[in-house]
Structure 1
Amino acid sequence: MRRIDAIGIGFGIFTAGGLVYLGLQLVGIDNQLAGIWSQALLVVGLIGWVASYAFRAGGKKMTYHQQREQYEEAFFQKRLDELSPEELAKIQAEIEQESAE
């Protein structure tokens, strides 16, 4: 995420909170109660966002983890493709010997 994206998201959340506040006032809720409800919605949204972030980080579904796994797979596939058939047979024999023990 770029810095301008983070600024835009912050501005959008700020604007949405103000619109919720104004919307609650238009419905007929007094200023103080409208402020409390708009802040409560902001806090609930923030807790939801943090929970989703923690879930993605805990499950390693973040972009960094996915990119790293793809890089490692591509790296090992390239190394495997560079091996000669004799080297590949030797490695397979070593793996079979280790698994037999």
Structure 2
Amino acid sequence: MRRIDALGITLGVFVAGGLLYLGFQVSGLDSQSAGIWSQALLVAGLIGWLVTYIFRAVGNKMTYHEQRRKYEDAFLQKRLDEMTPEELAQIQAEIEQERQTQV
């Protein structure tokens, strides 16, 4: 995420809070109740986002982890494509030998 994106999201959250406040006032709540309800909804949204962030961080589903995994997969695929059929056969034989010794 770029810095301008983060600033835009922050501005959007503040605008959404103001619109919620005005919406509650238009719907008939006094200014104090409208402020409390708009803040409560914004805090609930923040807590919800925080929970999803924690699950993504713990589950390694963050953008960095996904980019790294894709890079490693592409790197290994490139190395595999560069190998000769003899080298591939040798590696496959080694893998089969290791499987047999594990059983």
Q: Give the TM-score normalised by the residue count of structure 1.
A: 0.91
Offset of residue 59 of structure 1: 2.3
Q: Which amino acid aligns with 1:50?
A: L
What is aligned with 1:47?
Answer: 47
Alpha-carbon deviations, 1:25-64, whole Å to 9, x = none?
A: 1122111111111110110000111111112222222221
Alpha-carbon deviations, 1:9-36, whole Å to 9, x = none?
A: 1111101111111111112211111111
After TM superposition, list the pairs within 5 Å mapping 1:68-79 onto structure 2.
Answer: 68-79=68-79
Q: Which amino acid aligns with 1:45?
A: G
Unaligned runs of 5+ in 1: none
Unaligned runs of 5+ in 2: none
* Corresponding residue SS for 1:60: coil
> Separation in 2 of the partners of 1:90 and 1:23?
70
Aligned residues: 101
Structure 2 residue 19 is matched with structure 1 residue 13: no
Q: Which amino acid aligns with 1:46?
A: L
Percent identical residues = 70
Q: Give the TM-score normalised by the residue count of structure 2.
A: 0.90
* Corresponding residue SS for 2:29: coil
